[in-house]
Amino acid sequence: MTDTSRREAVRDASVIVARDANGMVAVLTAEFPQHGGEYVFLPGGRREDGETPEECARRELREEAGVTAQTWQPLGSYAITLNSPARIHLFLAEGLTRGPQQLTPSEESFKLMWWPMPDAIRAAAEGRFLLQGGPLALLLAQQVIAV
């Protein structure tokens, strides 16, 4: 595979801290047997062709949590790994409207819950998140909210 075709196969991702008017955050859980159990994660996923990072975030939030948001704030963009040009784009979404989840077949086991922000951050500190994007997004969102 050439560098050009490898770069085309790489897809950025978006992760969202969806925070409602009561300070509750959308959190998902699912079993990941290949990693040894159940883990917590935030709504998010890989960008589809032609999507901007924010369009990806909006779609993933709607699908995985059944939520749309009026206010979107970028929290930063970071490399996913040292060996890939793929980036993870983090967002804080507020002004939420809840609806039904629109899970894909691979997401059918995702359970949606609403947690207070401190509980989500505690779960991150306890190592209950499988991927690094969720804990980083929570910590950055907490900084923005505190200002």
Q: Can you say whether the dihedral through the CA atoms of 144, 40, 28, 89 is positive or negative? A: positive
pLDDT at 94 over 50: yes
Q: Which tokens in the block code for residue 122?
A: 């505690």
pLDDT of residue 40: 96
At 7 the three-state DSSP class reads helix
Supply the mean pLDDT for the chain: 92
| pTM higher than 0.75 | yes
pLDDT at 107 over 50: yes
pLDDT at 8 over 50: no
Q: Which tokens in the block code for residue 69?
A: 């948001």
Note the pLDDT tens digit of each residue in 96-106: 999 999 998 88
Beta bridge partners of 90: 15, 76
Min mean pLDDT across 1-15, 36-50, 114-128 is at 1-15
pLDDT at 1 over 60: no
DSSP one-letter code for 105 = G
pLDDT of residue 106: 85
| Rounded average pLDDT over 131-145 | 95
Name the pairing type of β-strands 87-98 and 13-18.
parallel
In angstroms, the CA 74 to CA 107 distance is 25
pLDDT of residue 3: 46
> Contact at 8 Å (CB) between 42 and 138?
yes
